[in-house]
Chain A
């Protein structure tokens, strides 16, 4: 609980954060930038978990624990994504999204 800040303010903030992530995911040309955008979407949901836990059910800890869990999974996922991007770079010498179109064949 933060004095003077309502749950609506924080939910507005996470919504903005989430849609910035979505916008970045759709428009960025670089795979790394897309990865960063995905991280923003994840962070928005993590904050949502914590806030809802704190404001609505202060007696329990599930929301907080879940956010830690999500951060761990996101870290693993990022490691995997970076590995894929590096491999892709070795193959086509580029991390541009438009160069990965050939993978549909």
Chain B
């Protein structure tokens, strides 16, 4: 398979970024919007062609999808240990190319309407292109180090875009928080990479993931504190993935990241960047599965399940619509993690892996749609809060319908996309771990409930007396909504399991009717509860909030995790570790250096007087010196 055109896919957005970034002030907003959209359109077309060629023409040999790659050595350590740059083409990277292309293209088109008239219009498109470039690079990476480089690049573009409104204090704080928290997690990732490189002698995914390769077979040869060192490395790598994917307890940055413009939330914090953690685990899945009988994978499963539950509970109580969606994203990411965690490897055993990827795909579509719909609402109402909304269905029919489709999809109502992928996840959980299965079913109900609480709150309920009647958004914003709504409706019918599986061979997935019936009825129960509570303005929500009392308060304050982190960092780490170190640094390290400087200045001040500037003084010194030398010379000579 010819891969050279695939290297073009990330290069086009990079070029667009450079052009828009360098000529930032000189380009008219209209032109920069078109440059961004058409640049991405080219990349998207190449991605679709690559997907077609891979899945339907060249990819499958003897019933197994092959892995293609081109690499060039970038940095050489030893014979086997080197860092390459290149592209790796296998089912998940091609699938991710399609996801990134579709969502990014829709967000680009949408942004042309949403950001209209903003001062930093060109800057915004430049950053979007930078992000798209980094994300393409991340999914195409051939080795751990290359993925790490692009991992940090998406982190930087996320930082730049969250802090896009840089005059807003809360946006700057959120940007810093996102960067520091993910950076902290990436520290674990980096140590994991180094450990893997040291003990297996390679960074390359193809070598590492080979089930008969030495990296996997020799896992037991080294051990540290009762576990294989490779397991420790995989846990550390998972910490990096958990930071990026907002898993508990590193989730605190994601809700605050909603300070960025809404298209950014849709692209980065819902559909693409936050799934990088899931992608990372999936990328190293054979290692996670085979090393120490999947010990690290169990951790992934439990962290995912807990995050899914935790975030869903918080989402019920939030009133900022973007924050509800943020917690919903976190919950769905937890779902994907738990699916990976309970997955097997071969054939139908690998249904969890396939379900995670499937859910990643469908979730990208409907969550991007939810965010873009929320953006459309915010654009019309100029507020993020549910209290300022209600009965918008009369004013914004297209947003209403597309939002409803997305909400039904995420709630798992057949035959929309979310139903199919969620069903596969629950099948995988049911077959491997009953506890996780019950958590999954409960979260499915919660998801349906909070999503319809949001939907009824925005589009039904009380008609607020708006100062300016809200208007439907322009075509540039509704067009992506419609496209994504269509995708959210039909994406579930793809025979996903035949293309993207852990062992790359594909299998026939069948609907498990009893489990599907349970999941669907739980979802419908959630929706009907939301109907009773929120369709018409009534006192039920307040009554039940009172019944749950302190628990409701904890949930709406996000279980005080921000406060706990602040307490640990400010009161303990800053006060008892950082402050004494800073004091030592100031007093002794700086003190020594400053002392040397001050002494030098003092000495030069005293000897400065010798330089009078009078020629005759110097001449006198010179002659006196000669006289002294002569006297000394005579004295020595005469002896």
> Looking at the complex, which of A4-12, A46-54, A65-73, A96-104 is the stretch in contact with chain B?
A96-104
Please determine whether A100 and B623 come into contact, CB atoms closer than 8 angstroms. Answer: no
Residues of A within 8 A of B619 (CB): 25-26
Residues of B within 8 A of A97 (CB): 614-616
Contact with A along B608-625 (1 / 0, CB 8 A): 000111111001100100
Please determine whether A98 and B623 come into contact, CB atoms closer than 8 angstroms. Answer: no
A70 → chain B closest CB, angstroms? 20
Complex CA gap A101/B614 in Å reads: 6
A28 → chain B closest CB, angstroms? 8
Give B617's nearest chain A residue, CB to CB.
Answer: A26
Q: Does A17 contact B (CB under 8 A)?
A: no
Residues of B within 8 A of A27 (CB): 616
* Residue from B611, B612, B613, B616 within 8 A of A26 (CB atoms): B616
B28 → chain A closest CB, angstroms? 54
A101 → chain B closest CB, angstroms? 4
B558 → chain A closest CB, angstroms? 66
* Residue from A22, A100, A102, A105 within 8 A of B615 (CB atoms): A100
Give B611's nearest chain A residue, CB to CB.
Answer: A104
Complex CA gap A105/B623 in Å reads: 24
Give A98's nearest chain B residue, CB to CB.
Answer: B614
B626 → chain A closest CB, angstroms? 10
- Which residues of chain A from 47 to 105 have a CB within 8 Å of any chain B CB? 97-98, 100-105
- How many chain B residues have a CB neighbour from A under 8 Å? 9
Q: Size band of the A side of the interface? A: 10 to 19
Please determine whether A26 and B614 come into contact, CB atoms closer than 8 angstroms. Answer: no
Residues of B within 8 A of A101 (CB): 612-614
Residues of A within 8 A of B623 (CB): 22, 26
Give B626's nearest chain A residue, CB to CB.
Answer: A22
Contact with B along A31-56 (1 / 0, CB 8 A): 00010000000000000000000000
Residues of A within 8 A of B612 (CB): 101, 104
Give A103's nearest chain B residue, CB to CB.
Answer: B613
Complex CA gap A26/B619 in Å reads: 7
B623 → chain A closest CB, angstroms? 6
Complex CA gap A37/B75 in Å reads: 72
* Residue from B613, B616, B620 within 8 A of A102 (CB atoms): B613
Residues of A within 8 A of B615 (CB): 34, 97, 100
B605 → chain A closest CB, angstroms? 16
Contact with B along A7-24 (1 / 0, CB 8 A): 000000000000000100
Please determine whether A25 and B616 come into contact, CB atoms closer than 8 angstroms. Answer: yes
Residues of B within 8 A of A34 (CB): 615-616
Complex CA gap A34/B618 in Å reads: 14
Complex CA gap A16/B145 in Å reads: 85
Residues of A within 8 A of B613 (CB): 100-105
B628 → chain A closest CB, angstroms? 15
- Which residues of chain B from 31 to 60 have a CB within 8 Å of any chain A CB? none
A73 → chain B closest CB, angstroms? 20
Complex CA gap A14/B612 in Å reads: 32
Complex CA gap A22/B615 in Å reads: 13
Residues of B within 8 A of A22 (CB): 623
A61 → chain B closest CB, angstroms? 30
A27 → chain B closest CB, angstroms? 8
Complex CA gap A22/B626 in Å reads: 12
A80 → chain B closest CB, angstroms? 15
Complex CA gap A27/B617 in Å reads: 10
Give A104's nearest chain B residue, CB to CB.
Answer: B613
Residues of A within 8 A of B620 (CB): 26
Residues of A within 8 A of B614 (CB): 97-98, 100-101
Residues of B within 8 A of A98 (CB): 614
Complex CA gap A60/B613 in Å reads: 45
Complex CA gap A26/B620 in Å reads: 7
Complex CA gap A103/B615 in Å reads: 10
Give B616's nearest chain A residue, CB to CB.
Answer: A26
Complex CA gap A77/B620 in Å reads: 21
Give B623's nearest chain A residue, CB to CB.
Answer: A22
A23 → chain B closest CB, angstroms? 10
Complex CA gap A97/B620 in Å reads: 14
Contact with A along B329-351 (1 / 0, CB 8 A): 00000000000000000000000
A18 → chain B closest CB, angstroms? 11
Complex CA gap A105/B611 in Å reads: 10
Complex CA gap A27/B616 in Å reads: 8
Residues of B within 8 A of A102 (CB): 613
Complex CA gap A102/B613 in Å reads: 7
B521 → chain A closest CB, angstroms? 92
Complex CA gap A25/B616 in Å reads: 7
- Which residues of chain B from 505 to 531 have a CB within 8 Å of any chain A CB? none
Complex CA gap A22/B624 in Å reads: 11
A44 → chain B closest CB, angstroms? 14
- Which residues of chain B from 590 to 618 have a CB within 8 Å of any chain A CB? 611-616
Complex CA gap A101/B620 in Å reads: 16
Complex CA gap A103/B613 in Å reads: 7
Give A102's nearest chain B residue, CB to CB.
Answer: B613
A40 → chain B closest CB, angstroms? 14
B540 → chain A closest CB, angstroms? 86
Residues of A within 8 A of B616 (CB): 25-27, 34, 97
A98 → chain B closest CB, angstroms? 7
Complex CA gap A104/B615 in Å reads: 10
Complex CA gap A53/B338 in Å reads: 109
Residues of B within 8 A of A100 (CB): 613-615
Residues of B within 8 A of A104 (CB): 611-613
Give A29's nearest chain B residue, CB to CB.
Answer: B616
Complex CA gap A34/B619 in Å reads: 11
B300 → chain A closest CB, angstroms? 72
Complex CA gap A91/B452 in Å reads: 89
Complex CA gap A2/B616 in Å reads: 38
B613 → chain A closest CB, angstroms? 3
B620 → chain A closest CB, angstroms? 6
B212 → chain A closest CB, angstroms? 79
Would you give 21 A-B contacts (Cβ < 8 Å), ordered by A? A25-B616, A25-B619, A26-B616, A26-B619, A26-B620, A26-B623, A27-B616, A34-B615, A34-B616, A97-B615, A97-B616, A98-B614, A100-B613, A100-B614, A100-B615, A101-B613, A101-B614, A102-B613, A104-B612, A104-B613, A105-B613
User: B: which residues have CB within 8 A of A?
Assistant: 611-616, 619-620, 623
Known: A100-B613, A101-B612. 4 other contacts (CB 8 A): A27-B616, A97-B615, A97-B616, A104-B613
Q: Which 7 A-B pairs have the closest CB atoms?
A: A104-B613, A101-B613, A26-B616, A26-B620, A101-B614, A26-B619, A25-B619
